[in-house]
Each structure stands twice: as C-alpha cells, then as structure tokens.
C-alpha cells in the first residue's frame, strides 16, 4: 500500500523568508503523481504544485518549488518569499493513475509578520 509521511506537524516562517516542508512516500510503482495541496481555514483544497514521477525536472509554480528525489522517495516543498496568505495546512499527496489521492498527515504553516 502507498503511504505518505509528513514528519513536521507544524512549521513557522517569517514573512518574506523561505521555508521547506518535508514529505516522504512509499510505493512500488514507477510512474505516479505527487502533489502539494493547501487547505486554508475555509477547508477548500487548493492545488499548489504537481510533479509527475517520470519527469526528472523539479516542478515550480512561481514562489513554490519542489525537490523531488525519486530514489529516496522524497518530495519536499519550498516556499520562497513567504506571504501572510501562505498560512494554512499543507498536505502532501500521492496518486497512481486515475486512482484516489493518498494524503500525508499535514503540516500547519504559520507565517509571522
């Protein structure tokens, strides 16, 4: 079974600084998708960034980038120039083919002004 582990229940960052959220996963598949989702207090799941496992290049979306280490099964999220609006729960997720998402336990990010 696929599992996703987020070992940081809470993280804090100063506004305008950079923070990295960690995620590891376990799978026997070679082709899959990895995601980072943001869940603000409204609880709407917002896709932050996506990585296809067959792509070696790390995905980037503006201030958000990932460090994808396939052999190590590691998928960390780096948020640069942190903003107050980045404060939320962040979930790492794994998906194989068209199947469901498997989520990590989440990391609560606090941004200090």
Partner 1 sequence: GAVVSQHPSWVICKSGTSVKIECRSLDFQATTMFWYRQFPKQSLMLMATSNEGSKATYEQGVEKDKFLINHASLTLSTLTVTSAHPEDSSFYICSAGDRLATYNEQFFGPGTRLTVL
Residues that bind partner 1 (CB under 8 A): 33, 42-45, 50, 52, 91, 95, 97-106
Question: Between 80 and 95, whose beta carbon lies closer to partner 1?
Answer: 95
Q: Rounded to the nearest whole angstrom, what is the least distance from the CB of residue 3 to partner 1 in the complex?
A: 12
Question: Between 11 and 101, whose beta carbon lies closer to partner 1?
Answer: 101
Cβ atoms of 36 and 65 closer than 8 Å: no
Locate tokens 């903003």: which residue? 83
Question: Between 62 and 113, whose beta carbon lies closer to partner 1?
Answer: 62
Q: Rounded to the nearest whole angstrom, what is the least distance from the CB of residue 84 to partner 1 in the complex?
A: 21
The Cα–Cα gap between 15 and 65 comes to 17
Q: Rounded to the nearest whole angstrom, what is the least distance from the CB of residue 41 to partner 1 in the complex?
A: 12
Q: Rounded to the nearest whole angstrom, what is the least distance from the CB of residue 103 to partner 1 in the complex?
A: 5
Question: Between 61 and 81, whose beta carbon lies closer to partner 1?
Answer: 61
Query: CA nearest 11: which of 1, 3, 21?
Result: 21
Query: CA nearest 71: which of 37, 27, 34, 104?
Result: 27
Q: Hey, what are 97's tokens?
A: 């083919």
Tally the residues of the chain: 113
Locate tokens 């998928």: which residue? 75
């Amino acid at each position: 079974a696929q599992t996703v582990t987020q070992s940081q229940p809470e993280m804090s960052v100063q506004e305008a600084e950079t923070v990295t959220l960690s995620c590891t996963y376990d799978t026997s598949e070679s082709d899959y998708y990895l995601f980072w989702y943001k869940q603000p207090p409204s609880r709407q799941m917002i896709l932050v960034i996506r990585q296809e496992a067959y792509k070696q290049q790390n995905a980037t979306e503006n201030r958000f980038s990932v460090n994808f280490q396939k052999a190590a099964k590691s998928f960390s999220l780096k948020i640069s120039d942190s903003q107050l609006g980045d404060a939320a729960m962040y979930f790492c997720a794994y998906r194989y083919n068209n199947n469901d998402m498997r989520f990590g336990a989440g990391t609560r990010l606090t941004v200090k002004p």
